Amino acid sequence: MYNKKLVCVVRVDGKILRESGEKVFLPFGSEYSIQIMNLHTTKAVISIKVDGDDVLDGSEIVISPDDSTELEGFMKGNDVSHKFKFIEKTQEISDFRGDEVEDGLIKISWKFEKQFLEVPHIWYSGSGGYRSYDNTTVYGSSAGYPKGVTHQAFASHTRGLSDVMSCASEITTSANDDGITGRGGESDQSFRTTTVGALESTRHSMVLQLKGEAKNNERVTRPILVHKKVQCDMCGRKWKSKNEFCGNCGNSLR
């Protein structure tokens, strides 16, 4: 999914899953990861919620321009404790934990760092050397004539940057398409802290919905990948996954 210069995909066994609108179909029992790429010209500071719960343990992920980060599970401190695992939300689970509005949803929200701006200055010379018009910047008399300065105020933030990791998957089947994310295997993924500048006031967001079935109640027994061809359920022709309509009969492929 793409929105406001950010790309988010779900991976199973290191492979990107295909989306249908906001829905991503994967088998119950699959361990998955979330990969995010920043296409903006400044850093992106990202929060992630799965099933309505913060999975970053109160931290946020910083992704540099034209870079990507892959999160494979639930953070605890600066480390990932357990991988994400998509499980069927059975009646027994619903009876025990209840049903929440955001079950099955991955919500990504973010702010971008403010642009690094060139600030013009007017300079004059004096006995103490060159000064800016507001007397905040002083250059010694031996310095060359200043041509201006580049300015940005930095705030102190502690965020996480992760290495790209892949995940493995297990395959199960079920007639139910509702799922939630539980804890999978232990993870050795770790994060480090960094700094980021002042952030823009606007917060953006995107939502992916994880589902355990494809359309027409066909059970998902293996991940539906981006490169896998889509079959028209009207005439049977197969087309590339980027096609929205069948080139033969015109039927919708979504």
Specify the pLDDT at position 236.
81
Four-point Cα dihedral 100, 86, 243, 37, nearest 10: 90
* pLDDT of res. 222: 61
User: HSE on the CB side for 218, CA within 13 Å?
Assistant: 11
Location of structure tokens 């940057």? 161
Average pLDDT, the chain: 76
List, for the chain, all residue ranges whose pLDDT scores fall below the cut of 50. Answer: 125, 130-174, 226
Whole-number pLDDT of residue 127: 52
- The domains of the chain are located at 2-115+157-223, 118-150, 229-254
> For position 177, what pLDDT does the model report?
84
Separation CA 31–CA 166 (nearest Å): 10
What is residue 246's three-state secondary structure? Answer: coil
Encode pLDDT of 141-161 as tens digits: 333 333 333 333 333 333 343
pLDDT digits (tens, 9 = 90+) for 157-195: 333 433 322 333 333 444 578 899 999 999 999 999 988
User: How many Cα atoms sit within 13 Å of 109 on the Cβ side?
Assistant: 14
CB atoms within 10 A of CB 86: 28
